[in-house]
Amino acid sequence: MAKKRPIALLSELASHKETFGGDMPLAPGHRMCIGCGIPPIVNEIILAINEPVIVSNATGCLEVTTGVYPVTAWNVPWIHVNFQSAATVIAGVETAYKVLKKKGVIPENKRIHFIAFGGDGGTYDIGFQALSATAERGHNVLYVCYNNEGYQNTGYQKSSATPIGAYTKTTPVGKAKVGKQEPRKDLTMIMAAHGIPYVAQASPHIFRDLTRKTKKAVSIEGFKFLNVLEPCTLSWRFSPEDTMRLAKLAVETRYWPVYEVIDGKYWKVNIKPKKPKPIEEYIAAQPRWKHVLKYPEVLERIQKEIDEKWNLLLHLEEMSKKLAEEEGVDYEELFKVPED
Amino acid sequence: MAQTKVIALTGNQAAAEAMRQINFDVAAVYPISPQTELMGFFAEYVANGEVDTEMIAVDGEHSAMATCIGAAAAGARTITASAGPGIAYMVENLYVASGMRVPMVLLDVNRALSAPLSIHCDHADSMLTRDTGWISIFSENAQEAYHNIIMSVKISEKAMFPIIVNYDGYIVSHSIEDVEILDDETVRDFVGPSDIHRIPYPLLDTDKPVTYGATAQPDYYTECKYQQHVDFLKVYDVVREVFDEFAQIIGKRYDFIEEYKTEDAEYIGISMGSSFGTLKDAVDRLREQGKKVGAIKIRLYRPFPVKEIAQALSKAKGVVVLDRADSFDGIGGPLFKDIASALLATENNPFVHNFIYGLGGREIHEEEFMRAFDRLERLEKGIETRENFVEYLQVRE
């Protein structure tokens, strides 16, 4: 029989305080997988902001691994309510800040930044309504989707961010169907269509770009949305040391374009691989997906989606430049980050 | 005692007036009948700058409650309001709010649940909230709704639990009656000023970062729930204190329950909300016929006033519980089961019968309540028999 483990009483815990990794917003000691892409994304983003932040978190990998009672990995104020409400919860916090500042409860010069983190399940699917509504109301919030293209915390089911042909537990590969049938929902485009001041796609392997985008986002008043690809070692089934290599391949194959959009109308593609790598190279690195290499018709659909989207983005960029010129707006100036 | 002025107001207007006087920091709302009108009135106060409140028109009741949790955890004095299906939609988050111990106020303008769709009054919506760990108070009329809302802010913040104030849809929310309104200063002094440090761990205190809404494994979940359990039992004292304090202002003391002619009553009827006036009329008419009957109204519904009920029924021969919601469980209505449980603490073991009435806005008349008493007496005396504890009072078969 297993030996009974003594558990501290709540009263003992309440008198006990021990911290380590105090310099990081998200401290070490959390329970995320070795090789997980989420911690670098979170720390990169919060460290890019030089003022206090408050974080709201949707239920998911990040949430269940970082605040496990009675310990927490968060060195910033953090709140989790449920799966679908991260955007509107932080809107509530931000509104409280706004009104209490107006009432003089919070000093006039105290600036706080409000960030929500959600996975693609909590952002593309179940949290979409609250996300869209919070964006429409224009709360001063930065929403970050760490997008690992499926419900990884529940053991990998398909989300609307899962690509064509990918295996998930709810889209298995069988005789009648080869993985997921539908293309990814383009949430970044949808968020841009909200006309919010700033929308961007980023990849964790380009730290400078992610830092710059975060700084840019928080320099603007209003609702901002960042969609960051987060290769998942566990469900995509690559080796833990390859996370950033996968992210790099996603960008080099144009599978995950890195771009930004101002006010839903000025588009800029930040990275343009001159010689894009074949998508097969990216797919082959992921056991969740590599079976599609045996199905040319599926591969063709994947390539078509990538090419069409890439082409559209380049056209949107060209259109933006012309639009800016017509309006007498300095296109390059739009994307500059103000000095801290 | 404070100065008051009497104004003719609907229940919704009286509630909006209380909200204006309290000057909540944040209100997150979504429209649903019969609550819509209330938020319309309040939005006028916001639009005219008569309050500091930031009103957030959210995308649904689920988000309304989530937004309120964020605002309340931040340290803001927070309110939302809903009804019927809207309450049903926010239930997941009601548990989150009480589990995270954030104080806030929810006005439930009681409405039936679908299907069939009905925008009219019954208590099915509120019964969805009875196990959520929220304090719950029922109001008989606009005056009580007004007083309950003012007291609820203080109860909630002292107890560190969220609170629901119920008042009946349309019957109270849309009917005009005379309401004694306190002056603004009295209300604001009573509830106290906004301050994030009203609560022990405000999220907005960035110098002392706190984690709200952590996950708990089997090693601690029980302890977290036990703390909630123990503290919820302390709510009785908090409510009593606030009722006492409020009595100083209005010159009248509210109790957990209200008794009417129960002193020598053999048979007692129990209801909640707006039907209590009708129940009292039924009692009066039966008394004229020489029947020793009485009535009890439940004001504090959660936590349930077990001791007070047991005491009030300690001499009764029979009790008829009048439920404005059905449980569809082969036992009886929700209030019936609560009363039956409270009777475990009595020695006289009175006979208990249950009637369902007033569903989906069905009007209730004193003759019907008189019939309920009559049936109770006949059952208790063995003149009639029953197949079930619960029967429908008003139905065309």
Verify that B282 and B186 share a domain, yes or no.
no
Residue A15 within a domain: no
**B175 and B234 share a domain?**
yes
Percent of chain A with pLDDT over 90: 91
- pLDDT reading at A94 higher than 90: yes
Shared domain check, B193 and B138: yes
The answer to whether B25 contacts chain A (CB < 8 Å) is yes
Taking each helix axis from N to C end, the angle separating B235-250 and B221-233, rounded to the nearest 10 degrees, works out to 30
What pLDDT shows up at residue A28?
87
Domain boundary pick from B250, B276, B304? B250
DSSP assignment of A38-54 equals HHHHHHHHHHT--S-EE
Q: Is the pLDDT assigned to residue A145 strictly greater than 80?
A: yes
Whether B70 sits inside 8 A of A100 (CB atoms) is no
- Number of domains chain B is built from: 2
Q: DSSP string spanning B165-202?
A: EEEETTTTTT-EEEEEEEPHHHHHHHH----GGGSSS-
User: Burial level of A305, CB count in 10 A (0-12/13-18/19+)?
Assistant: middle
B314 lies in the same domain as B235: no
Q: Which residues contact B55 (CB under 8 A, 6 or more apart)?
A: B26, B27, B28, B29, B39, B42, B43, B46
| pTM > 0.80: yes or no | yes
Residue B271, chain A, CB below 8 Å: the answer is no
The answer to whether A3 faces chain B, any CB pair under 8 Å, is no
Of B250, B271, B292, the one marking the end of a domain is B250
Q: What is the mean pLDDT of chain B?
A: 97
pLDDT tens for residues B327-381?
999 999 999 999 999 999 888 999 999 999 999 999 999 999 999 999 999 999 9
pLDDT of residue A167: 97
- pLDDT for residue A23 is more than 80: no
Q: Supply the pLDDT for residue A18.
A: 66
Any domain includes B201: yes
Q: A70 and chain B: CB distance < 8 Å anywhere?
A: yes
B85 part of a folded domain: yes
Q: What is the pLDDT of residue A21?
A: 60
- Verify that B269 and B232 share a domain, yes or no: no
Confidence (pLDDT) at A312: 98
| Shortest CA gap B184–chain A (Å) | 17
Question: What's the pLDDT band for A15 if we cut at 50, 70, 90?
Answer: confident
C-beta atoms surrounding A34 within 10 Å:
10
Please write the tens of the pLDDT for every residue from A160-195: 999 999 999 999 999 999 999 999 999 999 999 999
The tens digit of pLDDT for each residue in A54-84 reads 999 999 999 999 999 999 999 999 999 999 9
pLDDT at res. B1 = 78
Alpha-carbon distance B47 to B43, whole Å? Answer: 6
Q: Is the predicted pLDDT of residue B95 greater than 60, yes or no? A: yes
Residue B58: list chain A partners with CB under 8 A: 88, 133
Q: Looking at residue A8, what is its pLDDT?
A: 75
Asked if residue B348 is part of any domain, the answer here is: yes
Q: A 106-135 residues with CB below 8 A of B?
A: 106, 112, 129-130, 132-133
**B217 at A interface, C-beta within 8 A:** yes
A197, amino acid identity: P
Name the band, by pLDDT with cuts 50, 70 and 90, for residue A19. Answer: low
Interchain CB distance below 8 Å, B70 and A64: no
Residue with more model confidence, B326 or A16: B326
Question: Residue B183 sits in which domain range?
Answer: 4-250
Q: One-letter amino acid identity for A286?
A: Q
* B354: CATH: 3.40.50.920
Cα-flanking dihedrals φ and ψ of residue B63, to 5°?
A: -70, -35
One domain for residues B233 and B144:
yes
Kindly identify which residue of chain B lies nearest to residue A138, measuring between CA atoms: B56
Tokens 């005219």: give the residue: B48
pLDDT tens for B207-241 read 999 999 999 999 999 999 999 999 999 999 999 99
What is the pLDDT of chain A when averaged over all its residues?
A: 95
Tell me: ipTM over 0.95: yes
Q: Is residue B115 scored above 80 in pLDDT?
A: yes
Instruction: Test A93 with B70 for CB contact under 8 angstroms.
Output: yes
Is B268 part of a structural domain of the chain? yes
Measured in Å, how far apart are chain B's first and last C-alpha atoms? 53
**pLDDT confidence of residue A3:** 67
Three-state DSSP at B270 gives strand
> Is residue B331, in this structure, part of any structural domain at all?
yes
Does the structure show a pLDDT above 80 at A220? yes
Is A10 inside a domain boundary?
no
Residue B107 has pLDDT above 90, yes or no: yes
- Residue B230 domain-assigned? yes
| A34–B contact, CB cutoff 8 A | no
* Residue A8 covered by a domain: no
Domain boundary among B185, B219, B250: B250
Confidence bin at A12 (pLDDT 50/70/90): confident
Number of compact structural domains in chain A: 1
DSSP state letter for B80? E
At B397 the pLDDT is 83
Residue A287, domain extent: 26-334
Residues B282 and B388 in one domain: yes
pLDDT for the residue A113: 98
B141 at interface of A, judged by CB pairs closer than 8 A: no
Residue B244 and residue B263 in one domain? no
Enter the tokens of residue B288.
């004229």
User: Does residue B105 contact residue B59 with C-beta atoms inside 8 Å?
Assistant: no
Residues B242, B122 share a domain: yes
Is residue B85 over pLDDT 90?
yes
> What value does the mean pLDDT take over residues B177-194?
97
Please check whether residue B244 lies inside any domain of the structure. yes
Do B285 and B140 belong to one domain?
no
Q: B265 and B240: one domain?
A: no
Does residue B171 belong to any structural domain of this protein?
Answer: yes
Q: d(Cα B395, Cα B397) in Å, to the nearest integer?
A: 6
- The mean pLDDT of B70-98, rounded to a whole number, is 98
pLDDT band, residue A22 (cuts 50/70/90): low
Give the domain CATH number at A296. Answer: 3.40.50.970
* pLDDT class of A280 with cuts at 50, 70, 90: very high
pLDDT tens-place string over residues B8-40:
999 999 999 999 999 999 999 999 999 999 999
The reply to whether B30 and B96 lie within a common domain is yes
> From the candidates A16, A88, A223, which should be mutated to test the interface with B, based on the most B CB atoms within 10 A?
A88
Is 80 exceeded by the pLDDT of residue A1? Answer: no
- What is the model's pLDDT at position B146? 98
Is B194 an interface residue toward A (CB < 8 Å)? Answer: yes
